[in-house]
Amino acid sequence: MSEFNNHDIKDETIVSKEENSIILEFTIPGTSDFFDGHFPEYKLLPAVAQFEIITRFSRKYFGTQRYVPNIKRIKFSAPIRPESKIHLELTYKKDKNLISFTMTDAEIKEKTYSSGNFNVLMES
């Protein structure tokens, strides 16, 4: 059973993977409950949902906890609409317990949705 059952993620694909970095592409369908109640006439993916996705993938691929003790920097630059194909780059700096991310449009690379970095703890 997928960890994303409550928040549909379609077609998660690993574009590239190294020990401390991963690039993923996926689509968040309009039927996802991430969009429920958030501007019903013009659905947008809330910032908290973007961060939810980032911390879930961080846990899945790097074994970090979902608890984030410190957000260093996060910038939300453009709205994400249903059915957008997302390109997510995650880098884990183990020596600093730091995840850096950039979420862009998979088809329009110049379109950045969000970026930033935050501290994490490892699963025990």
State pLDDT tens for residues 103-120.
999 999 899 999 999 999
Calculate the average pLDDT of the chain.
90
Q: What CA–CA distance (Å, rounded) separates 84 from 35?
A: 13
Tens digits of residue pLDDT in 25-53: 999 988 888 888 767 788 999 999 999 99
For 8, the 3-state DSSP assignment is: coil
Please report the pLDDT score of residue 1 as a whole number. 37
Please report the pLDDT score of residue 122 as a whole number. 85
Of residues 19, 31, 117, 9, the one with CA closest to residue 63: 19
Please report the pLDDT score of residue 9 as a whole number. 82
Distance of CA 50 to the CA centre of its chain: 5
Query: Rg of the chain's alpha carbons, rounded to an integer?
Result: 14
Q: What CA–CA distance (Å, rounded) separates 108 from 113?
A: 11
Return the DSSP state at 36: T
Amino acid identity of residue 8, one-letter, is D
Please report the pLDDT score of residue 32 as a whole number. 86
